[in-house]
Amino acid sequence: MLARLLLIEDEAEIRTMLKLSLEDEGYVVHEAADGRSGLALFHEHQPDLVLLDLRLPDIRGLDVCRELRRESIVPIIVVTAQTDTHDLVAGLEAGADDYVTKPVVPKALAARIRALLRRVGMQEPAAPSTSAFGNIELREAEAVVLRRGQPLELTKTEFRLLCELAAQPNIVLSRDQLLEKVWGYDYLGDSRLVDAHVHRLRNKVEEDPQRPRLIVTVRGIGYKLIKT
């Protein structure tokens, strides 16, 4: 599962630079330019980690931090000016888990994020990999799926669904888990969304979609991908 980050930073240039470099590291990044929209996005997306600049134009970053902490155990990394140790201490007191100083070095930041997510038991982004099951070869990095060596036309959602199932072969994933992983939020608990996509995916990857052998239904729970 890809970790989702919320980046709250008012300086557009820094925000864009961080977003791009973190996406390169394999994270999904939501961005907000001020504290209020940051809090709104937090409620909307329930990210796995928040990266919070302490100097924001509307509400103080410290107050955003406290606000987040009141309702959530989400890991928070605060971004402070290098010289401002007062801000840093206040940020940690307000509930931040870690901090980085400006100018932010993307590689160093990514290492802090990895460490923090590991601490809280969150999986790191999987290294882009190739896996094979049945007659299917999945090349994640290239976004290619082959069946008997022939490329399949999958939608992005079908592709992500297949990747999520393949990331945990032989383990049943509930419809809610798949909603969360593939769509990134609770789609009003609408499991039909998952069922419809599994159905379409089966039509493409299964030898006999009526008798699926790769993506099997676990009655009352969800789906699992069979890898022998």
* Spatial CB neighbours of 58, under 8 Å, sequence gap ≥ 6: 34, 35, 36
Instruction: Tell the smallest beta-carbon distance from residue 38 to Ca ion (Å).
Output: 12
**Any idea what DSSP says for residue 182?**
I
Say whether residue 98 binds Ca ion (CB under 5 A). no
Q: Single out the segment in contact with Ca ion by CB under 5 A; choices: 4-12, 22-30, 99-107, 115-123.
A: 4-12
Between CA 74 and CA 48 the distance in angstroms is: 6
Say whether residue 227 binds Ca ion (CB under 5 A). no
| Nearest alpha carbon to residue 32 among 20, 46, 42, 47 | 42
Between CA 139 and CA 137 the distance in angstroms is: 6
Residue found under tokens 């961080």: 18
User: From edge to edge, which strands make up the β-sheet containing 98-102?
Assistant: 28-32, 4-8, 49-53, 76-81, 98-102
Identity of the residue, 53 or 140, whose beta carbon is nearer to Ca ion in the bound complex: 53
Say whether residue 10 binds Ca ion (CB under 5 A). yes
36, 45, 55, 139: which one binds Ca ion (CB under 5 A): 55
Give the total of residues touching Ca ion (CB under 5 A).
3
Identity of the residue, 10 or 63, whose beta carbon is nearer to Ca ion in the bound complex: 10
25, 53, 87, 97: which one binds Ca ion (CB under 5 A): 53
Say whether residue 87 binds Ca ion (CB under 5 A). no
Q: Single out the segment in contact with Ca ion by CB under 5 A; choices: 55-63, 105-113, 156-164, 170-178.
A: 55-63
Identity of the residue, 80 or 222, whose beta carbon is nearer to Ca ion in the bound complex: 80
Query: Cα separations (Å) of 78 from 13, 99, 149, 152?
Result: 18, 5, 47, 43
Asked if 30 and 41 touch (Cβ cutoff 8 Å), the reply is yes
Taking CB under 5 A as the rule, which mask of x and - marks residues 11-50 in contact with Ca ion? Answer: ----------------------------------------
Instruction: Tell the smallest beta-carbon distance from residue 49 to Ca ion (Å).
Output: 19
Query: Cα separations (Å) of 112 from 120, 127, 145, 156, 166?
Result: 12, 18, 33, 30, 28
Tokens of residue 170, six digits: 């032989």
Identity of the residue, 31 or 53, whose beta carbon is nearer to Ca ion in the bound complex: 53
Q: Single out the segment in contact with Ca ion by CB under 5 A; choices: 2-10, 63-71, 84-92, 144-152.
A: 2-10
Contact residues toward Ca ion (CB under 5 A) are: 10, 53, 55
